[in-house]
Amino acid sequence: MSKQKIYVTRSSMPELSEYIEEIKDIWETHWMTNMGAKHEKFRHRLQEYLGVEHMHLMVNGHMALELALQALKLTGEVITTPFTFASTTHAIVRNGLTPVFCDIRPDDYTIDTEKLERLITDRTSAIVPVHVYGNICQVEEIQRIADKYGLVVLYDAAHTFGETYRGNSVAAFGDVSCYSFHATKVFNSIEGGAVCYSDRLNEFGLSLFRLKNFGIRSETEVDGVGANAKMNEFCAAMGICNLRHIDEEIAKRKRVVDRYRECLQDISGIKLPVVQPDVKYNYAYFPVVFDEQVLGVTRNEIYMTLAAHEIYSRKYFYPLTSQFECYRQRFTEGDTPVALYFSKRVLTLPLYADLALADVDRICDIIKSKLQLGNKEG
Ligand code: T4K
């Protein structure tokens, strides 16, 4: 057990020697970016690991979302949820599209398909659901609705690295899925991301590939208003190394999650993450909901108590993106009451592969003690 500061997560890294070995040949080639050899090696290995046929690597998960939306050439309104990281909503707005916020399901916090259909108008062009915390959206129902109204489905799959649903890669659902390989994720390439897409989309892949490189078609032709969203060779090399250890990392995260469940189960007023049937999880987050009516203690008090012990949990995802200062004038938080309820009560507890089980016990003891459930630490 450490008495060091504990953050909500800690980046997984390979042995330094392994990384040095992987980047050595960059000193021979002097090729550091612009879709070099590491980039291609990483892409092929990832495609194999994730079981996806079409993929482009990106500089980060946000640019994956933003450029994928641009390449889809969407217009008008996009239905999404506000219970997510800033990136999802920003990517929509930065494309000149209007986010229309749908509420979330109380069990797994994904988009509520029972409330989705009534938000569709003749301006709706797409649905952007989030597999939040690695919980899988109701993919079949979303597809049924999308097919009925001719809408594109782009999943924010930032939290789902390596997950499968009914034996299929999560990226197999919808038209496009965007991953994040940020340092804080289950799997990282320092910064990074990927767009996976269905072979139903004809021009999309080429258009996306160009958009991530300034819209360049050839040395003398530029046919798109692109950005620079290329993954560099050092990030790709980190991804290659981390991919070698990912199964072990996920197994270690599972041990931590199992211990949390054991320690916090059956406490009235505490809601632990749901276990969805048919999902192979990656154990990305451990969101716990504290009901102050039952517990007599608020989520914020738990957060502060942990912080006083130098344990830094996070309020992912509070506030709702619809409550951000830059959006507040445009949206009414009361439109998504379930999302509002959970954003005020959820706390994501520290979770990473090397978090000691004794530290999990200590975190739980501190929480229980605050709830006056008879533990020693105060
Ligand atoms: N869509 C969704 C649903 C997302 O959650 C995200 C990102 C995106 C899209 C966009 O993907 P990217 O463009 O980021 O690839 C963090 C991450 O920066 C962000 O990637 C993530 N979601 C979000 C949920 O969490 P912050 O601002 O909370 O991170 P920060 O810097 O406070 O770090 C949290 C903790 O992680 C630190 O306390 C310690 C640890 N840490 C952090 C860094 C940067 C490390 O151990 N190593 C590190 O290098 O946003």
| The dihedral sign for the CA sequence 61, 96, 207, 224 | negative
The pLDDT of residue 1: 53
Helix (H) or strand (E) holding 346: strand 346-348
User: From the CA of 284, how far away is ligand 1's center (Å)?
Assistant: 12
Q: Name the residue at shortest CA distance from atom 24 of ligand 1.
A: 85
Nearest atom, ligand 1, residue 10 CA: 46
Identify the residues whose C-beta falls under 6 Å from ligand 1.
7-11, 60-62, 84-85, 87-88, 130, 156, 158-159, 180, 182-184, 193, 312, 316
Residue 75 identity: T
Quote the pLDDT of residue 2.
55
- Kindly give, in sequence order, each residue whose CB lies less than 8 Å from that of residue 246, ignoring residues fewer than 6 positions away: 49, 161, 162, 186, 187
User: Residue ranges of the chain with pLDDT lower than 50?
Assistant: 375-378
Query: Looking at residue 375, what is its pLDDT?
Result: 46
- Residue 191 CA, ligand 1 centroid: distance in Å: 10
CA distance 90 to 86: 6
Name the DSSP letter for residue 13.
Answer: -
Q: What is the pLDDT of residue 378?
A: 43
* DSSP string for residues in 180-217: E--TTSSS-SSS-EEEEE-TT-TTHHHHHHHHTBTTEE
Could you tell me if 313 and 349 are in contact, meaning their C-beta atoms sit under 8 angstroms apart?
yes
Helix (H) or strand (E) holding 341: helix 337-343
Residue 334 is predicted with a pLDDT of 87
Which amino acid appears at position 309 of this protein?
H
Residue of 182, 317, 320 to mutate, ligand 1, most atoms within 8 A of C-beta: 182
pLDDT at 376: 42
pLDDT at 377: 46
pLDDT at 199: 83
Return the best residue to mutate from 5, 133, 184 for the ligand 1 pocket (most ligand atoms within 8 A of CB). Answer: 184
Distance in Å, CA 183 to ligand 1 centroid: 7
Q: What is the pLDDT of residue 202?
A: 76
Residue 118 CA to ligand 1 center (angstroms) comes to 33
Q: CATH code for 16-244? A: 3.40.640.10
How far away, in angstroms, is 220 Cα from ligand 1 center? 38
| Among 13, 85, 306, 324, residue to substitute to test ligand 1 (most atoms within 8 Å of Cβ) | 85
Q: What is the pLDDT of residue 201?
A: 82
3-state secondary structure of 178: strand
For residue 122, what pLDDT is reported?
98
Q: Specify the residue with its C-alpha closest to ligand 1, atom 31.
A: 184
Domain-wise residue ranges, the chain: 16-244, 246-377
Tokens of 306: 């942990």
The CA 128 to ligand 1 mean position distance, Å, reads: 20
Nearest CA, atom 46, ligand 1: 10
| Centre of ligand 1 from the C-alpha of residue 335, in Å | 27
CATH architecture assigned to 246-377: Alpha-Beta Complex (3.90)
| Rounded-to-integer distance, Cα 343 and Cα 72, Å | 31
**9 CA distance to ligand 1 middle (Å):** 9
Enumerate residues 6+ apart whose C-beta is below 8 A from 208. 56, 67, 68, 71, 195, 197
CA of residue 194 to ligand 1 center, whole Å: 16
Nearest CA owner, ligand 1 atom 50: 184
Residue 243: the pLDDT is 98
Cα dist. 363→127, 299, 306 in Å? 38, 14, 7
